Amino acid sequence: MLAKAVSVPLEKVCRLLLFAVAARTLKEVAFGRFQFADTVAALLVLATDLGIGMWTTRALARRRHTPQEIVGTGMWVRSLAAAPYLALVGATALLGAGRQPDTRRALLCLGIAALAGVFIEYCGAIFRGHERLRDEAHLNVVRAVLVTLAGLGALAWQPSVGALAAGVMLGSVSAAVHGLWIVRYRYRLPTPFANKPFDSSLRRSLARTAIRQAFPLWLATLMSLVYFKGDAVLLRLWAGDAAVGAYSAAFKIFEGTMILPSIVLAASFPSLVRAHDQVQVHARLHAQARAHRRRAELGLGLGLLGLGALVGGTLWATSATVIRLAFGPTFANAVPALRVLSLAIPLLFANYGLTHFLIARHLERYNLAFTIGLVILNLGSNWVLIPRWGALGAAWATLGTELALSVCCMVMLAERSPASSSPEPPRTPPPEPSATNKVRRSE
C-alpha cells in the first residue's frame, strides 16, 4: 500500500498536468474533441478485455494453477482479441469522425494507445496477483511519465488534437514494451511473443474456463464504463463540444479521487479472495471464516465511506479554486458540475469496495445484473437532464447512478452473508497438479 500510495498520486498528477496543459492550449472546443476520441477509444478497447485481468489476479491469489499456466493463457486470449479491436477502431475512425480529420487521426492514435494500455493493465494484474505492488507502482509511474512527456512534447511541436493523440500513443506503446519486459525477464512468465509456455490442450481448457468465469466481469465492466464515461458522448450529441470540455474538466478531478480506493483494494483484494476460499474449503472452521470475512469487509467498507466523505467534502468546499488552478478561469462552467460530482465521491469510494467484495465471493453475475440496470437508469437520467441542464445534468445522473449501485450491492451482500456465497459445498484443497491430471483440471 505504501508503494501504491507514493506512485498513484504521482501518476495522477502527471496525467492531470498533461490534460491541464492540453486544455489551456487547445481551448474548450478542441479539447472536447480530444476527450470525445479518448472516450470512444476507451469504450472500444473493452472488446479486448473479456475480464481476463481480474480473473488473472484472482486465479494467482487462489494458487490452483502454476503462474505460467495462468499468465500464458491470459496473454494468449488477449492477443487473439487485438486484431478485431484494431479493425473496429479503423472502421470507427473512418465512419464515425465525420468531416473532422483531426478527430479521425486522434481516434486512430488513441485506439493504438488504448491497446497498449490493455497489456499494461494486464501486467499490473499479474503483479497484484503476486502481491508485488512495488512492480505495479513502478510500471504505472513509467507509463504516466512517458505519456506526459510525449504528449507535452507533441503539443510543443504542434498544438493540435492529432499531435496530442500521437504523443499519447508513443508514450503508451513504450510503457507497454517496458511492462512486458518485466514480466518476461524478471518474473520468467510468458508474453505474447514467447513460445508455447505449456501443453496446448491444457491452455485451451484453461482458456475456456477463464473466459466462462471472466465473461460476467467483462460485461459488468463494459456496462459500468458506458454509464461512467458515456456522458461525454451524450453531451456532445445534445449540448455540443463546449459542454463536453467543461464536464470533462470536472470529471477528471472526480475520477482522480479514485486514487485512494484503488490503493486500498489493490493491496487487499488477494486477501479477500483467500478469505472467501477459507469459507469454502475448511468445513470445520466455516463459521469462524465467515465471521472473519464479514469483519474484514465491514471494516474496509466503512473506512472507504469515511475517506470518501472527507475527500468529497473538501473538494466541494474548494471546487472553484481547484478548477481555476487546474484548468484556468476559462473553465468556470465546470465548477457547478464538480460540486455535484463531489457529493458522489463517498458513494464512489464505497462502491469500489462493494463490487470487489462481490467478485471475491464469486458473485460477479449479480454485479453484471446491477450494471445492466444502472446503464438503463443512467441513460434515462441523462436523456432527461442533459438537454435541460447540460454538464450539470450529467453530474446529477452520475450521482444517482452511484447511489443506486450502493443500494444494490449492500442488499446482495446482506442476503448472501448468512450462508455461503457460493453454490459449491465445502471441500478439501485440491492436490498439486501432476503430468497426468493437468489437462483434466479446471480453475
Q: Is 145 exposed, middle or buried (0-12, 13-18, 19+ CB in 10 A)?
A: middle
Specify whether the CB–CB gap between 161 and 244 falls below 8 A. no
Distance CA 324, CA 338 (A): 12
For the chain, give percent helix, strand, coil, nearest 5: 85, 0, 15
**Cα 280 from chain centre:** 28
Specify whether the CB–CB gap between 207 and 73 falls below 8 A. yes
Sequence-distant (≥ 6) Cβ neighbours of residue 132 within 8 angstroms: none
Using only the alpha carbons of the chain, give its radius of gyration.
22
**Cα 119 from chain centre:** 13
Specify whether the CB–CB gap between 422 and 371 falls below 8 A. no
Read off the C-alpha cell for 351: 462502491
Concatenate the DSSP letters of all residues of 374-394 into one string: HHHHHHHHHHHHHHHHTHHHH
CA dist list (Å): 166 to 16, 68, 290: 18, 34, 51
Sequence-distant (≥ 6) Cβ neighbours of residue 396 within 8 angstroms: 340, 381, 385, 389
Task: For the chain, 443 residues long, give each residue's pLDDT as a single digit of tens.
Answer: 777 777 877 887 888 888 888 888 887 778 888 888 888 888 788 767 777 888 888 888 877 678 888 888 888 888 888 888 888 888 887 776 556 777 788 888 998 999 999 999 999 989 988 888 889 889 989 999 999 999 999 988 988 888 899 999 999 999 999 999 999 888 888 887 766 555 566 667 777 877 787 777 777 777 777 777 777 777 877 777 778 878 888 888 888 888 788 888 877 888 777 776 665 555 445 566 667 677 778 888 888 999 999 999 999 999 989 988 888 888 888 889 899 999 999 999 999 888 888 888 777 778 778 888 888 888 888 888 888 888 888 889 989 989 999 998 888 887 765 444 444 333 334 433 433 333 333 33
